[in-house]
């Protein structure tokens, strides 16, 4: 540091002898100031990079997101005796509008099987959901198995949701093992059924190889956020199964027939009677879950083809 200070003294003494202009002095001193502030600039950049890395970990890694969310929930629980934040949990607006509390309308959260009674008139205008008779090309069940087992190897690695089946396999549930066994049992006329939902985004994308968009799919709508596959062979359901779906529903009957029941949500069951449908091969059913609850059942007496294959797309519906 002593040698550096001496060099500065010599440098400034030379400047005095040369008697430079004010602009030259300002230019030289500005360069020195930039050099002096450069370490602090590096520190600020380093701090921002660290913050960005933490934010990236929070958004991209579910474990970190879950950990920080858990800490936040624990903190809110500890704050409850001092500040009751629970009314804000379901509030649509965090800022008061200034209206009279006595005349304010309180919106009660409805369950998935209920709807606002003012919307019961929907069934009077809509009547029945839309059935399209020329929805798609006919399909051979062996072609479907070939597409899934031979051309969609990455799809088989995903873990599905809402699985229901009578197929007995060694592992708890393995997609590939279940489909291979189903393909073998068709040759022996065994009774089986399989239901699963693609809940992972990667699985939904890979399933587009065999769950195709129909020609009437609206272009302004986003892609399906989750999809289903219902399959059966020589199997007759003992009772209807309820499917918990949400949004705009597009059901395509690729093979065989499927018995459907649409039940209106409470309190619209009086004005909106139940709708019973037989979805035939090549047809498609379109409806929204704003009003209807879907149930389905496999049947064998309505068709000579004892194999049934159905695909379902759930599309975000905010209209």
The DSSP code sequence of 109-140 is PPPTTB--GGGGGHHHHH-S-EEETT-S----
The boundaries of the domain holding residue 147 are 117-315
Same domain as 144, residue 227: yes
275 domain residue, yes or no: yes
How far is residue 146's CA from residue 152's CA, in Å, rounded to a whole number? Answer: 9
pLDDT computed for residue 46 by the predictor: 83
How far is residue 319's CA from residue 73's CA, in Å, rounded to a whole number? Answer: 33
How far is residue 143's CA from residue 139's CA, in Å, rounded to a whole number? Answer: 7
Same domain as 235, residue 133: yes
pLDDT tens digits along 27-79? 666 666 666 656 666 777 888 888 888 777 767 766 766 777 778 888 888 88
106 domain residue, yes or no: no
pLDDT tens digits along 88-115? 766 656 555 555 544 444 444 455 555 6
pLDDT computed for residue 107 by the predictor: 43
- The enclosing domain of 132 has a CATH number of 2.60.120
Same domain as 309, residue 211: yes
Same domain as 60, residue 124: no
Same domain as 203, residue 124: yes
Q: Cα–Cα–Cα angle for 185, 189, 191, nearest 5°? A: 75
pTM of the model: 0.62
Same domain as 246, residue 166: yes
H or E segment and range at residue 186: helix 175-187
Q: Cα–Cα–Cα angle for 271, 275, 279, nearest 5°? A: 160
pLDDT per residue, tens digit, the chain (319 aa), is: 566 667 667 766 776 666 665 666 666 666 666 666 566 667 778 888 888 887 777 677 667 667 777 788 888 888 888 887 777 766 656 555 555 544 444 444 455 555 666 667 666 665 467 899 888 877 788 888 888 888 788 888 888 999 999 988 766 678 888 888 998 888 888 899 999 999 999 999 999 988 989 999 988 889 999 999 999 999 998 899 999 999 999 999 999 999 999 998 887 877 788 889 999 999 999 998 888 899 999 987 766 668 899 999 999 887 5
31 domain residue, yes or no: yes
Same domain as 121, residue 51: no
Number of domains in the chain: 2
Same domain as 276, residue 213: yes
pLDDT computed for residue 204 by the predictor: 93
pLDDT computed for residue 105 by the predictor: 47
Boundary residue ending a domain (19, 43, 64): 64
DSSP state of 278: E
78 domain residue, yes or no: no
72 domain residue, yes or no: no
Residue 286's nearest CA partner among 129, 115, 91, 108 is 129
Cβ-contact 165, 190 below 8 angstroms: no
Same domain as 123, residue 245: yes
Boundary residue ending a domain (34, 49, 64): 64
Contact residues for 61 (Cβ-Cβ < 8 A; gap 6+): none
Same domain as 60, residue 207: no
97 domain residue, yes or no: no
Same domain as 251, residue 182: yes
The first and second tokens of residue 150, run together, are 């031979």
Neighbours of 125 (CB within 10 A): 6
Same domain as 284, residue 170: yes
Report the largest interatomic distance among the alpha carbons of the chain, rounded to a whole angstrom. Answer: 110
58 domain residue, yes or no: yes
DSSP state of 86: G
Contact residues for 284 (Cβ-Cβ < 8 A; gap 6+): 131, 132, 135, 136, 214, 250, 251, 252, 253
232 domain residue, yes or no: yes
Contact residues for 230 (Cβ-Cβ < 8 A; gap 6+): 193, 194, 195, 258, 296, 308, 309, 310, 311, 312
Residue 242's nearest CA partner among 184, 293, 316 is 293
């Amino acid at each position: 540091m002593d040698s550096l200070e001496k060099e500065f003294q010599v440098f400034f003494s030379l400047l005095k002898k040369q008697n430079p202009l004010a602009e030259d002095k300002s230019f030289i001193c500005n360069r020195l100031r930039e050099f002096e502030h450069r370490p602090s600039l590096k520190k600020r950049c380093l701090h921002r990079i660290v913050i960005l890395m933490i934010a990236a970990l929070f958004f991209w890694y579910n474990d970190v997101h879950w950990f920080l969310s858990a800490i936040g929930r624990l903190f809110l629980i500890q704050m409850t005796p001092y500040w009751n934040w629970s009314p804000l949990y379901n509030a649509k607006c965090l800022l008061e509008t200034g209206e009279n509390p006595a005349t304010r309308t309180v919106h009660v959260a409805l369950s998935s099987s209920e709807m606002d009674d003012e919307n019961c008139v929907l069934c009077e205008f809509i009547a029945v959901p839309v059935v399209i008779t020329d929805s798609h090309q006919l399909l051979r069940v062996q072609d479907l198995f070939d597409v899934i087992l031979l051309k969609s190897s990455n799809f088989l690695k995903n873990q599905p949701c809402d699985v229901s089946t009578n197929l007995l396999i060694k592992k708890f549930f393995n997609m590939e093992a279940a489909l291979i066994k189903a393909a073998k049992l068709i040759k022996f006329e065994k009774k089986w059924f399989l239901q699963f939902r693609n809940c992972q985004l990667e699985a939904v994308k890979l399933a587009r190889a065999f769950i195709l968009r129909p020609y009437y799919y609206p272009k302004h709508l986003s892609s399906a956020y989750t999809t289903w596959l219902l399959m059966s062979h020589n199997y007759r359901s003992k009772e209807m199964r309820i499917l918990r779906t949400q949004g705009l529903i597009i059901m395509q009957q690729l093979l065989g027939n499927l018995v459907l029941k649409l039940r209106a949500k409470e309190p619209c069951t009086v004005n909106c009677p139940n709708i019973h449908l037989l979805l035939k091969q090549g047809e498609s059913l379109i409806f929204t879950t704003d009003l209807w609850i879907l149930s389905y059942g496999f049947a064998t007496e309505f068709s000579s083809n004892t194999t049934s294959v159905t695909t379902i797309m759930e599309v975000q519906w905010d209209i």
